[in-house]
Amino acid sequence: MIELESVPELVDPVMVAAFEGWNDAGDAASTAVAHLDREWKGEVFAALDAEDYYDFQVNRPTVWLENGVRKVTWPTTRLSVVRVGGEKPRDLVLVRGIEPSMRWRSFCNEILGFAHELGVEMVVILGALLGDTPHTRPVPVSGVTSDADLARTMDLEETRYEGPTGIVGILQEACTHAGVPAVSLWAAVPHYVSQPPNPKATLALLNRLEDLIGLRIPLGELPEDARAWQVGVDQLAAEDSEVAEYVQTLEEARDTAELPEASGEAIAREFERYLRRRDGGPGPGGHATESGDSAAYLRDPSSGRARPPKPPRPEAGQGPGPAKRPDDNGDKGPDDASGESPDEE
């Protein structure tokens, strides 16, 4: 059921969505949308009926107390709207929830119903995957679309992925068939330190989203959290020679793969981003890149972080394999921080 009476007329609205579970390694994507909602004080105007889409034995409701009165929060997907001011005001419709357990086509149709009623111009879906990427390097973020024209005009990759998919892929295809421009942004999370949170991956997604939709996003404490996260992982890796050796192997493979990109268009894009942010001045909380320079990370890491599992050592003479597929370890439950390929639909 769509109830939009309380929603004002929106200005150039963009829908930004993320879903916990299979498409959300390290909780990076859902945390990014939660950050937008918190920083811009989003107002929830609708929630999907949990009975229609969720298996409550998989995603349990929670009970809590408010002034001595017991209340229940049901797992669902909620929509909020935020109004972003500035020289070019623009509204965002934020979709945040859990990957549904059933009726995915109906779920996507309901989301698209909101998009149509609100006049949404583009849908951006955030995701995160587990990959063979070192934590010491900038987080790779891939932008993909099923729309050839959109891929050309916005410098995105046209998806060629084939294989198992999650709600991110299904929603993007539903948008394409409905004629709604849709983009998926995927952050790669190191598989050897996959437990949430991963503020560095969240920061990378927000930086890419900022460039995509032309809005300056207030980052709050997120850059400092990303630095602290890196310090913690650096320390954990330093305590285990096998992990440190494996990270070095990933670094070498990453650096070798990026050598052809260290000139021309890649440098031009980074320089343009630097100029935009310098000329515009720092937004609230400042901006940060996902630098791998551990010397810059001075804040003590948060306590209680679980030790990352030992990764398998690569065979002699072999580099790391391709990004970890979500089906490598069998079926994943909705709470697993797994993900899809950057080319995921």
Greater pLDDT, 30 or 86: 30
**Confidence class for position 247, pLDDT limits 50, 70, 90:** confident
Percent of the chain with pLDDT over 90: 51
Note the pLDDT tens digit of each residue in 130-188: 988 889 888 999 999 988 888 888 888 888 888 899 999 999 999 999 999 999 999 99
Greater pLDDT, 192 or 304: 192
**Confidence class for position 14, pLDDT limits 50, 70, 90:** very high
Given a contact cutoff of 8 angstroms between Cβ atoms, the answer to whether 185 and 37 are in contact is: no
Query: Mean pLDDT for the chain?
Result: 79
Structure-token pair, residue 153? 């005009």
Q: What pLDDT shows up at residue 31?
A: 97
Note the pLDDT tens digit of each residue in 318-338: 333 344 434 443 344 334 434
CA distances 310 to 192, 277, 307, 336, Å, are: 7, 39, 9, 18
Greater pLDDT, 201 or 244: 201
Q: What pLDDT shows up at residue 51?
A: 94
Cβ-count burial 282-314 (b if 16+ within 10 Å, e if not): ebeeebbbbbbebeebeeebeeebeebeebeeb
Least confident segment among 196-205, 211-220, 257-266, 301-310? 301-310
Nearest partner of 199 among 29, 19, 4, judged by Cα: 29
